[in-house]
Amino acid sequence: MQTPSPSTILALDVGERRIGVAIASLETRLPSALTTLLRSEESPQDIQHLLEKHSATALVVGLPRGLDGQHTAQTSAVEAFGKTLAAKVQIPLYWIDEAVTSRQAEAELIARGKPYAKGDIDALSAVYILEDFLRDHSEDIV
């Protein structure tokens, strides 16, 4: 008898040029960076492929806001992207405030003292988004 694999959840840090992706098992709830995608017209299909490949049961999208929590042009752009995704995926999509995750990720990477690329910042930002979601909204997912 084959044991079913634990469900997973993916999180996205959607930027203008790149999309950081993080993953966590719903059993262990320990997020890790999965990949960074270059943002393009194919991004929704690329994300759908990742969701299927990893048997994801939920998707979290970080929602950027201004420093005072206000709605910005980037907020609108990410909301539009998320709505496109929601129409394509057959799993729940959750939004979570992603205030300063990119700055936090860059500071951590600098502190490590090793070379890193912009995509590393995006992937680590997605990890922070997923950590926040799992900590604050664990009752939302099964």
Residue 76 located in a structural domain: yes
Residue 1 located in a structural domain: no
Report the CATH number at residue 113. Answer: 3.30.420.140
- Rounded to an integer, the average pLDDT of 124-137 is 90
pLDDT computed for residue 141 by the predictor: 64
pLDDT single digits (tens) 82-113:
999 999 998 999 999 887 777 888 888 888 88
Residue 2 located in a structural domain: no
In terms of Cα–Cα distance, which of 86, 69, 67 is closest to 14?
86
pLDDT computed for residue 52 by the predictor: 94
Residue 128 located in a structural domain: yes
Residue 33 located in a structural domain: yes
Q: Phi and psi of 104, rounded to 5°?
A: -65, -45
Of 52 and 3, more confident: 52
Residue 3 located in a structural domain: no
Edge-first strand order for the sheet with 56-63 is 32-38, 18-25, 8-14, 56-63, 93-97
In the chain, what is the straight-line distance between the N-terminal and C-terminal CA atoms, in Å?
A: 23
Of 81 and 66, more confident: 81
Which domain does 108 fall in, by range? 8-140
**Is 92 strand, coil or helix?**
coil
Residue 109 located in a structural domain: yes
Residue 117 located in a structural domain: yes
* Alpha helices per DSSP H over the chain: 43-53, 73-88, 101-112, 118-136
| Structural domains of the chain, count | 1
